C-alpha cells in the first residue's frame, strides 16, 4: 500500500507576488508530512506535521500568517480527524496559539468533546500546558497593512470572495 | 486556510484544516474550517477531505461530507470533488477548493476559485500546482 499526503494553502485569488512563496510553502509542507509517513508514522501524525509546517509559514492564512478580525484580533480555527476511529477534535475562535491543529488534536485525545471554542479553548490550552504567543507573533506586516487599508476604505467584511477576498 | 489529508501504509486516512478566518470579519464569526463534515472529514471507509474557500457556502452544503458521499456512490475522488464544488457554485454561488485522498491512495486537488496552492507526495514523487487544470 503506497502512502500519500496532499496539502493545500487556501483557495482564493492568490496575487502574483504571493504565488511563488505559496507554491514553495506547500511543497515544503508536503515533503515534511510525507517524511512522517515514510518513517512509518500514522496518517494522523502526518497531517498534523504538515499543517504545523503551514501554520509556521507567514505566507498562509493560519497560525503565524493569520488574518485580523474587525477588532484587530486573531481568532483561529482548526480541525483534525482520524479516519480509523472517526475521532475528531476542533477549536474555534481560539487566540494566541501558535499551532491550533495540535490543540485540536489535544481536544480529540484528552476530552470526550469534538469542539472547544473561544475562552473555553484557551482555558483548555492553559490546563494542558500549551504556551501562548503574543498576537504580534501571529500577524505579518503585510496583513497589518492590508487590514488597515481594508478598515479605512471598505466598511464591513469584504464579501466579493471569488475575486478579492480569501477565506 | 491550510489543510492536509493522508493515507498511511496501513490504509488509515486522516485530515486536518487550520485557518485565521477572513480579514476584518465580525468578532466570533466562524467559517467552515473547524466544523466536522464541512472544513474536513475522514473515514477509513471512504476517504479524507480538507476544504477551503467561502466558509458560509461550504457550511451550507457540508462540502467535505458531500464529497465523500459521492465517493461512497462510486465516483472517483476527482469526480466527487468536481461534482460537490459544482453543486456549491450552483446552489449558493460559493467558490472553494478541496483536497481528497482515498483509502486506496487515489488523490485529487480541485478548486473553483482563481487559484489554489497545493502539493502532493506519492511514492516519493512530488506533485504541485497553483493554476486551474495544472
Per-residue pLDDT at B10: 96
Q: Which of A10, A45, A58 to mutate to test the interface with B (most CBs of B within 10 A)?
A: A10
State percent of chain B over pLDDT 90.
Answer: 97
State residue A151's pLDDT score. Answer: 82
Confidence of residue A153 (pLDDT cuts 50, 70, 90): confident
Beta strands B2-7 and B13-19 are antiparallel
In the β-sheet with B107-111, what is the strand arrangement from edge to edge? Answer: B40-43, B47-53, B96-101, B107-111
Q: Cα–Cα distances in Å, from A134 out to A52, A98, A123, B73, B126?
A: 18, 9, 16, 47, 35
User: pLDDT tens, B51-85?
Assistant: 999 999 999 999 999 999 999 999 999 999 999 99
Q: Are B21 and B29 in contact (CB under 8 A)?
A: yes
Identify which of B66, B83, B18, B71 has the alpha carbon closest to the alpha carbon of residue B44.
B71
ipTM of this complex prediction, to 2 decimal places:
0.97
Q: What is residue A1's predicted lDDT score, i.e. its pLDDT?
A: 73
Q: What are the cell numbers at B31? A: 467559517
> Hey, are the CB atoms on A43 and B14 less than 8 Å from each other?
yes
Of B34, B54, B55, the CB nearest to A91: B34
In which band, very low, low, confident or very high, does the pLDDT at A167 lie, cut at 50, 70 and 90? very low
Q: Tens of pLDDT along A94-134?
A: 999 999 999 999 999 999 999 999 999 999 999 999 999 99
Q: For residue A163, what pLDDT band results from cuts at 50, 70 and 90?
A: very low
Contact of B5 with A41, CB cutoff 8 Å: no
Could you tell me which residue, A157 or A151, shows the higher pLDDT? A151
Q: Is the pLDDT of residue A67 over 70?
A: yes
**Residues 116-135 of chain A whose Cβ lies under 8 A from any Cβ of chain B:** 117-118
pLDDT at residue A23 above 70?
A: yes
Q: Is B83 exposed, middle or buried (0-12, 13-18, 19+ CB in 10 A)?
A: middle
Q: Search chain A and give the residue with CA nearest B130.
A: A23
Active site residues of B: 1
Q: How confident is the model at residue A155 (pLDDT cuts 50, 70, 90)?
A: low
Query: How many angstroms separate the CA atoms of B5 and B71, rounded?
Result: 15
Q: What is the pLDDT along chain B (134 residues), one digit of tens a residue?
A: 999 999 999 999 999 999 999 999 999 999 999 999 999 999 999 999 999 999 999 999 999 999 999 999 999 999 999 999 999 999 999 999 999 999 999 999 999 999 999 999 998 899 999 999 88
Amino acid at each position: 500500500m503506497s502512502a500519500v499526503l496532499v496539502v493545500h494553502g487556501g483557495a482564493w485569488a492568490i496575487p502574483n507576488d504571493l504565488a511563488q512563496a505559496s507554491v514553495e510553502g506547500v511543497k515544503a509542507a508536503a515533503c515534511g508530512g510525507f517524511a512522517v509517513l515514510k518513517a512509518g508514522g500514522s496518517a494522523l501524525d502526518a497531517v498534523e506535521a504538515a499543517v504545523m509546517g503551514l501554520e509556521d509559514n507567514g505566507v498562509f492564512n493560519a497560525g503565524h500568517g493569520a488574518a485580523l478580525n474587525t477588532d484587530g484580533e486573531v481568532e483561529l480555527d482548526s480541525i483534525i480527524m482520524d479516519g480509523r476511529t472517526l475521532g475528531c477534535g476542533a477549536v474555534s475562535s481560539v487566540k494566541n496559539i501558535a499551532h491550533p491543529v495540535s490543540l485540536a488534536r489535544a481536544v480529540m485525545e484528552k476530552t470526550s468533546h469534538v469542539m472547544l471554542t473561544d475562552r473555553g479553548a484557551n482555558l483548555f490550552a492553559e490546563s494542558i500546558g500549551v504556551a501562548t504567543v503574543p498576537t504580534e507573533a501571529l500577524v505579518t506586516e503585510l496583513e497589518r497593512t492590508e487590514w488597515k487599508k481594508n478598515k479605512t476604505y471598505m466598511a464591513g467584511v469584504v464579501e466579493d470572495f471569488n475575486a478579492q477576498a480569501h477565506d | 486556510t491550510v489543510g492536509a489529508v493522508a493515507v498511511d501504509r496501513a490504509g488509515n486516512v486522516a485530515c486536518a484544516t487550520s485557518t485565521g478566518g477572513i480579514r476584518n470579519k465580525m468578532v466570533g464569526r466562524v467559517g467552515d474550517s473547524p466544523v466536522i463534515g464541512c472544513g474536513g472529514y475522514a473515514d477509513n471507509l471512504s476517504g479524507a477531505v480538507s476544504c477551503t474557500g467561502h466558509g458560509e457556502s461550504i457550511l451550507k452544503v457540508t462540502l467535505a461530507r458531500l464529497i465523500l458521499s459521492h465517493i461512497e456512490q462510486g465516483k472517483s475522488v476527482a469526480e466527487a470533488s468536481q461534482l460537490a464544488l459544482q453543486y456549491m457554485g450552483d446552489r449558493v454561488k460559493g467558490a472553494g477548493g478541496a483536497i481528497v485522498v482515498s483509502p486506496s491512495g487515489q488523490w485529487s486537488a480541485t478548486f473553483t476559485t482563481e487559484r489554489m496552492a497545493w502539493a502532493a507526495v506519492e511514492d516519493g514523487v512530488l506533485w504541485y500546482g497553483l493554476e486551474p487544470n495544472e
